[in-house]
Amino acid sequence: MAAAETPEGILLELRPAGLIPRFYAFVLDWVIRIAISFAALTAAAFMGGLGLAFWFILLFALEWLYPIVFELTPSGATPGKRTFGLKVVMDNGLPVTPAASVARNLLRAADFLPFTYGLAIVSMLLRADCKRLGDIAAATLVVHERPAVGKTAMAVVPPLVPVRPLAPEDQAAIVALAVRAPRLTADRLDELAALAGAVSGDAGRAGPDVTRRVLGVARWALGRR
Amino acid sequence: MMTPLRFEQMYEEEWKELERLLDQVRGRRLRAEPNLTVSGAVIAALYRRACEHLALARARFYPAYLIDRLERVTADAHQLIYNRRELGFARAKTIVAVDFPSAVRKQVRHVAMAALTFLLPMIVVGLFVYSHPELILSVVDIETAASFEQMYSPSADSIGRTRTASTDWMMFGFYIRNNVGVAFQCFAAGLFAGVGTLFFLGYNGAFAGALAGYLTERGLSSTFYSFVATHTAFEVTAIVLSGAAGLRLGHSLIAPGRLTRVQSLVAATRESAILLYGVTAMLFVAAAVEAFWSSATWLPPSVKYGVAAICWTAILAYFTFQGRRAD
């Protein structure tokens, strides 16, 4: 987990993407490019020399410009990266600049050595932020897009005043349990709620009633009265 | 008492408004509201408020969904507000008029080193092959050597390509793909402390020298030199400049000065981007000249040499004088 601080003094969380999702994204982009170049070659075959000129220029564009052009769109990702929820950003969390995108993509020629992106793979495996050489030089980062988290519906139980004052951290833990509750099995939820039994005066007991009371405390902590 | 729910109720309208404005700016709803105007000042104010709310929510351990929502909206606004748009026609104009030649002048030592690395092997190998033509066979095999002779023979339909090869247009595409690849390779190999750049520059120089020495010895100098004279003004210069950018990378790693090696590399990479824009443009010009002008057999060599002299003078003058006032 990397973080970038904004001028407003808040930390933006950046989640660097590892080797495997980046590999999938690369393979998808590669397939797309191969498909386009074959389709274009078929079309070029009917156009003679001019067609072949376009085909060679297209090969150049697919090889070098494809990632640059897509990284400079608002999504900051090639179709492959977008499919796997990745995007390219600067180290400080901002959209990638044209100069950085050009540099990181031209340096693929170095990352590719000695064969099949050997240096890129070694560099990505050795670094916590999973940068290849081009990312290091261009000060860019490939991160996971933030997954869409909807507001989870919490169980509607009567709010309950805790039997003792709760520190903010404890309140947060209880609320987090209540938010996760719909995704847990009933037995597991009872087990976890029993650990927090002390807040509703149920220390040492377990069961659906204890769970209801602990969730009630969570509703209270959120502000229901 | 302030509780998470009360906090959310109090400020949710502001967050919704910010989310709505961000959506509009990113064009998602442009079709629904075609004549909208978004005030940047409003977005900036709402963004700063949301930043405060996020800091409060984190400090007070508010529930994850609340923090997550604030993180998302502040991250989106941050991307929008601090986005630097440096593409466009005006930017391209200043690059051509000032930034590119000025960057070349700033890197004059690396340019000189790259030029020497290219030219010395070219001259030495060229002279060797000229005095011992059989040495060409240690560079290429015998069929390739024969095809070179055929490519540059005065009776060829168009100079610089085999009879089987197709039209000017096809060669234009081929030269772009090939030459840009060589230039980018020269740049990227600089990441290995500059050694890779030195190798590729020397290799390409030696190959060009071997070819020139061989063809001169075979008595084909008039077709060969009139062919290469013009487009090399752009092509060799571009390769040397991309090599200079590569050497700049290598130099930044070897001698980072007061910076860390990574900081030094990042600064060097940012500087070399301008060179790479210029190099790419020059290689497109070179490919066009090589495909349509250099290969033409109906032009007498004297015309080609005249144009070549103009091109070389122009390109050297461009790098020496263009944009000096803005330096």
CB proximity B100 to A under 8 Å:
no
Residue keyed to tokens 């070029």: A44
A25: nearest Cα among A146, A144, A156: A144
Cα(B77)–Cα(B74) distance, integer angstroms: 5
**Contact (CB<8Å) B168/A13:** no
CB proximity A137 to B under 8 Å:
yes
Cα(B127)–Cα(B123) distance, integer angstroms: 6
Which residue in B46, B53, B61, B171 has the most chain A C-beta atoms within 10 A of its own C-beta, making it the best mutation to test that interface? B61
B177 interaction partners in chain A (CB closer than 8 Å)? 56-57, 59-60, 63
**How many other CB atoms are found less than 10 A from the CB of residue B23?**
13
Closest approach of chain B CAs to the CA of A30, in angstroms? Answer: 18
**Contact (CB<8Å) A103/B270:** yes
CB proximity B3 to A under 8 Å:
yes
Q: What sign for the dihedral angle of Cα B296, B301, B305, B306?
A: negative
Residue B327's pLDDT band, with cuts at 50, 70 and 90, is low
Residue keyed to tokens 């069961």: A207
Instruction: Check pLDDT > 80 for residue B297.
Output: no
Of B135 and A2, the one with more pLDDT: B135
Instruction: Check pLDDT > 90 for residue B249.
Output: yes
- Residues of chain A below pLDDT 70: 1, 49, 147-153
Q: Where are the domains positioned within chain B?
A: 4-81, 89-321
CB proximity A110 to B under 8 Å:
yes
User: Are the C-beta atoms of B270 and B129 separated by less than 8 Å?
Assistant: no
If you count residue pairs, one on A and one on B, with CB atoms under 8 Å apart, how many are there?
Answer: 164
Cis ω on the peptide bond leading into residue A114 (within 30° of 0)?
A: yes
Phi, psi (5° rounding) for residue B131? Answer: -80, -25
For residue range B301-313, what is the model confidence (pLDDT) as tens digits? 788 888 888 989 9
- Which ipTM was obtained for this model? 0.82
Length, in residues, of chain B: 327
CB proximity A151 to B under 8 Å:
yes
CB proximity A171 to B under 8 Å:
yes
Element (H, E) at A153: none
- DSSP calls for A168-189: HHHHHHHHHHHHHGGGS-HHHH
Instruction: Check pLDDT > 80 for residue B116.
Output: yes
Of A147 and B166, the one with more pLDDT: A147
Global pTM value: 0.81
Q: How many Å from the N-terminal Cα to the C-terminal Cα in chain B?
A: 61
Residues 6+ apart with CB under 8 A from B194: B246, B247, B249, B250, B251, B253, B254
Q: Which residues of A91-116 are buried (b: 16+ CB within 10 A; e: fewer)?
A: bebbbbbbbbbbbbbbbbbbbbbeee
